[in-house]
Amino acid sequence: MGVDYRVWVLPRQRSFRPSAEQFARLANALRDGNWAPMPDTPGQGSQIIELLPGNSVAGKKPARVQGFDNIPFTSSWVEFHSQHELVMDWHVRNLREAGVQYPFVFDPYPDSGPPYFYVRLILGRDYFYWTGENVMPFDDATTECVCGEQLSFWTDWAHGTPSQRIQMVCPQCGQRFDPSGKACDILDGWSGAPTPLIGGLTFRFALVVDCHKYWPHDEDAARRFHLRSGFLDLWRKTIEVPFETVVTFD
């Protein structure tokens, strides 16, 4: 089992993509509720990463990177910056200095903290497609269009996002693809037992908390290490559609 721990909050309906208005409301709610730091706060470093088309599979994905402003996000701002893919990345390096709320129900290392983590929003047009140590890939046939075209592909690397995509619309025949009913295996982090993950770890929109190495490494504690309901309520209030959480270890 790997050491980087991430919790992905995903729409159950994998084809769901929020409106620019909903996305802006969630980003504002994260800051207003003090779950994500403002740009002038100490103990954090945050950036907005606008990923650009480009698929050389040779290195880093082309991107425009900028800092956050103090002003609230608007739907027109989101629309303008999400023409390809948009990542908002709040990196809390030191919870105490940043003075934000901890998104988990307990601090796994209260004697050696303070906690560090990333809160991340990811928005795209094609499906982001994550596989890793505990999330197995779909069978090749699963990501084929009805016309036989393979819709999954690799793209360049970008911080905090999967490097694989699945095309939303088949370039050969124009059919839309939706992985929501398709299953891959997800392995339990301790026993290794597989269970089906319906929809796979695919999304066009996700809220992610990336703990890096700061998470409880003993099984009993890790099984109790959940996101706080107040944090997930932000999704319920702004995005509204049903979600599920998936944990990865890489």
What are residue 97's phi and psi, to 5 degrees?
-65, -40
Nearer to Zn ion, 83 or 175 (CB): 175
Among 248, 142, 139, residue whose Cα is nearest residue 201: 248
Smallest separation (angstroms) from Zn ion to the CB of 176:
10
Smallest separation (angstroms) from Zn ion to the CB of 153:
14
Nearer to Zn ion, 173 or 221 (CB): 173
Residues 174, 179, 181, 182: what is their CA dihedral angle, to the nearest 10 degrees? 120
For residue 92, the 8-state DSSP code is E
| Contact string 131-160 vs Zn ion (x = CB under 5 A) | --------------x-x-x-----------
Give Rg (Cα) of the chain.
18
What are residue 245's phi and psi, to 5 degrees?
-110, 140
Q: Hunting for tokens 């699963």 — which residue is that? A: 142
Nearer to Zn ion, 135 or 151 (CB): 151
Number of residues that bind Zn ion (CB under 5 A): 7
Nearer to Zn ion, 172 or 195 (CB): 172
Nearer to Zn ion, 1 or 147 (CB): 147
Q: Which two tokens stand for residue 126?
A: 């094609």
Q: Which two tokens stand for residue 88?
A: 């908002």
What are residue 129's phi and psi, to 5 degrees?
-140, 105
Smallest separation (angstroms) from Zn ion to the CB of 172:
4
| Contact string 160-199 vs Zn ion (x = CB under 5 A) | ----------x-xx-x------------------------
For residue 35, the 8-state DSSP code is S
55 is a site residue for Zn ion (CB under 5 A): no
- 93-112 residues in contact with Zn ion (CB under 5 A) are none
List interacting residues with Zn ion (CB under 5 A): 145, 147, 149, 170, 172-173, 175
